[in-house]
């Protein structure tokens, strides 16, 4: 018999903005943990209904409280734009400058909201693609975060040296055929990363893991639950 899952549309504050998300949890049992799921870049199919983001929520929600959310300007999440600036331009400007202060604030606000919704359950933060940058950066600094995972981290596009000071158990998973994966950069980073970082490179898979979502999510759930329940 399949587990019954409750899904609620929720809103939470991020400064002056109201961001939107979906909270999911088991209907007939108390959730053991809380899991925040960070989407890819908004200009590249990055929203809370992304195939892998939704699959992660399905995988964890029978036993945990999950929150997936839209960054500012995406879906029902609010944004304040400059005059004549489009949402696409806003996110493109952030990507060009690599100044992620505002999406980092979105993730921190989502983590705080989930902590409130879950009444302080042990927390993990997962991020896919761009979400692995802002999710891991936020999670390694927040008190109460016990596990992290980064799926398809864009190693060829952003310096992941920041994981050298990570003190939270963290799982990184890349497809060997992913266009943002770099074997050379991965080789350079392994000695730089802290001992809390583990990496898997899956042959025969690209950035999107289409058709492999369930197997990948099950692998990530096993790692996360081991750390949260330790």
DSSP string, the chain: -PPPEEEEEEEEEETTEEEEEEEEEESSS---EEEEEE---GGGT-STTSHHHHHHHHHHTTTEEEEEEPPTTSTT----PPTT--HHHHHHHHHHHT--HHHHHHHHHHHHHHHHHTTS--EEEEEETHHHHHHHHHHTTSTTEEEEEEES--TTTS-GGGGGG--S-EEEEEETT-TT--HHHHHHHTTTS-TTEEEEEETT--SS-TT-HHHHHHHHHHHHHHHHT-
Give the pLDDT mean for 179-193. Answer: 96
Which range of residues forms the domain containing residue 13? 5-228
User: Using CA atoms, how far apart are residues 103 and 2, in angstroms rounded to an integer?
Assistant: 35
Question: pLDDT digit string (tens) for 36-45?
Answer: 999 999 999 8
Domain count of the fold of the chain: 1
First CA to last CA across the chain, in angstroms?
28
Neighbours of 80 (CB within 10 A): 12
pLDDT of 46 strictly over 90: yes
CA distances from 13 to 5, 102, 209 (A): 25, 13, 32
CB contact at 8 A, 53 and 142:
no
pLDDT band, very low/low/confident/very high, at 17 (cuts 50, 70, 90): very high
Instruction: Specify whether the backbone of 145 is left (phi greater than 0), alpha (psi in -120 to 50) or beta.
Output: beta
pLDDT band, very low/low/confident/very high, at 2 (cuts 50, 70, 90): low
Q: What percent of the chain has pLDDT over 70?
A: 99
CATH number, position 114? 3.40.50.1820
**Can you state the angle between helices 213-228 and 51-60, rounded to 10 degrees?**
50
Question: pLDDT digit string (tens) for 48-107?
Answer: 999 999 999 999 999 999 999 999 999 999 999 999 999 999 999 999 999 999 999 999
pTM for the whole structure: 0.97
* Cα-only R_g, the chain: 17
Residue 79 burial (C-beta neighbours within 10 Å; 0-12, 13-18, 19+) = middle
């Amino acid at each position: 018999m399949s587990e019954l899952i409750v899904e609620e549309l929720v809103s939470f504050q991020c400064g002056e903005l109201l961001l939107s998300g979906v909270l999911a949890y088991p209907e007939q049992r108390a959730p053991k943990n809380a899991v925040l799921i960070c989407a890819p870049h908004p200009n590249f199919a990055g929203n809370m209904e992304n195939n892998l983001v939704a699959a992660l929520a399905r995988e964890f929600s029978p036993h945990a409280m999950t929150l997936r959310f839209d960054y500012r300007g995406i879906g029902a999440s609010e944004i304040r734009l400059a005059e004549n600036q489009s949402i696409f331009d806003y996110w493109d400007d952030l990507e060009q400058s690599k100044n992620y202060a505002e999406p980092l604030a979105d993730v921190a606000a989502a983590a705080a909201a989930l902590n409130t919704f879950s009444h302080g359950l042990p927390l993990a933060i997962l991020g896919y693609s761009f979400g692995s940058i802002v999710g891991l950066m936020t999670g390694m600094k927040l008190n109460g975060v016990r596990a992290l995972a980064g799926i398809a981290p864009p190693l060829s596009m952003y310096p992941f040296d920041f994981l050298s000071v990570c003190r939270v158990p963290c799982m990184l998973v890349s497809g060997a055929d992913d266009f943002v994966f770099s074997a050379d950069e991965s080789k350079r980073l392994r000695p730089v990363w802290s001992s809390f970082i583990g990496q898997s490179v899956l042959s025969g898979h690209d950035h999107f893991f289409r058709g492999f979502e369930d197997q990948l999510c099950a692998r990530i759930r096993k790692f996360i639950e081991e750390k949260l329940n330790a």
